[in-house]
Amino acid sequence: MPPAATLQAFFLDAEHGQRFCLLHTPPASQPVLGHVVYAHPFAEEMNASRRMAALQARALAQAGFAVLQMDLMGCGDSTGHFEEANWAAWVDDVALARRWMCEHWPGVAWLWGLRAGGLLAAQVCRQEKTPGRLLLWQPVLSGKQHLHQFLRLQMAGDIARGEPNRGTSRLMHLLEKGESVEVAGYSVSAALAQGMAQADLDGLPAGTQIISLELGSASTDPVSPALAAQLQRWQAAGCSTVANVVPGADFWQMQECPDSPAWVTTSLQALSANPAGGAP
């Protein structure tokens, strides 16, 4: 049996408190190919996707990539409460994780974002102003749309409780006034909502390499029209893109669902095939 990857838990000092981190490291006998920073998704999607994120992190580490999973401010075991979080702080957290990995691990650097985590990864890439490498799982293409979809959960809650449907306009009005809103057990601050609403995947530096995975019934299916349009914008901006339709389950939406091993193998093959950073 080959040596196994190792796992280390620690807290990383940040501007506001500490961030809980899990570091997956390759076996000592395995050449290091690079390192990966994971940006987790928003709200309950983070919890629902923990198992798949862990499976992918372990597989990457076994193949030679060091992987850092960080709980962002107010999430998981990191400092603060969710209602204290804001989008800028989350971007800073991903950037902090990125710097720490670059200081401690050799090889090419990847940012891996799931759902809204892809928006955070893209923003860090834009801030660096140099070509980056992004692995995007079921990427959220518009932070504004993602926020509105999240706020609609309150509508579903109203219906389930037999209360009048208040829509999302009232919640948006409160956020625009600088107030927090409670949705599905999460208190969302105005700063968090406003930052998310402005986030997208455009404006990446030319030369950035992007590997995107999207859920489908078969790998031969075409990508969604929305992702196809985003791919065209990336390519027009001089980015290198590869898009994969991958079968499985929408694991970011369900606490208990079957594993989706094709996501792990597809990502592993894509990163391992190009450790030196040429076109994917």
| Backbone torsions φ then ψ of 26, nearest 5 degrees | -65, 155
Domain match, 84 and 101 both: yes
Cα distances (angstroms) measured from residue 3 to each of 62, 100, 101, 233:
8, 25, 23, 43
Query: pLDDT tens for residues 44-90?
Result: 999 999 999 999 999 999 999 999 999 999 999 999 999 999 999 99
Whole domain around residue 185: which residue ranges? Answer: 143-199
Q: Is 40 in contact with 71 (CB distance < 8 Å)? A: yes
Residue where one domain finishes, among candidates 158, 178, 199: 199
Q: How many domains does the chain have?
A: 2
Same domain, 84 and 222: yes
Residue 96 has what pLDDT?
98
Cα distance between residue 91 and residue 181, in whole Å: 21
DSSP 8-state secondary structure symbol assigned to residue 254 = -
* Whole-Å CA distances, 148 to 19, 41, 154, 225, 229: 28, 15, 10, 20, 21
pLDDT in the model for residue 155: 72
Distance CA 9, CA 69 (A): 10
Looking at the fold, whether 265 and 151 belong to one and the same domain comes out as: no
DSSP state letter for 83? G
57 and 112 fall within a common domain = yes
Output the domain CATH number for residue 39: 3.40.50.1820
Residue 142 is given by DSSP the state: B
Are the C-beta atoms of 140 and 115 separated by less than 8 Å?
yes
The pLDDT value recorded for residue 165 is 62
Which regions of the chain are under pLDDT 50? 277-280
For 106-131, the pLDDT digits (tens) are 889 999 999 999 999 999 999 999 99
Residues 48 and 177 in one domain: no
User: Within a domain: residue 278?
Assistant: no
**pLDDT given at position 157:** 59
What does the alpha-carbon distance between residue 19 and residue 71 come to, in Å, rounded to a whole number? Answer: 6
Please report the pLDDT score of residue 280 as a whole number: 36
> Does 229 fall in a domain?
yes
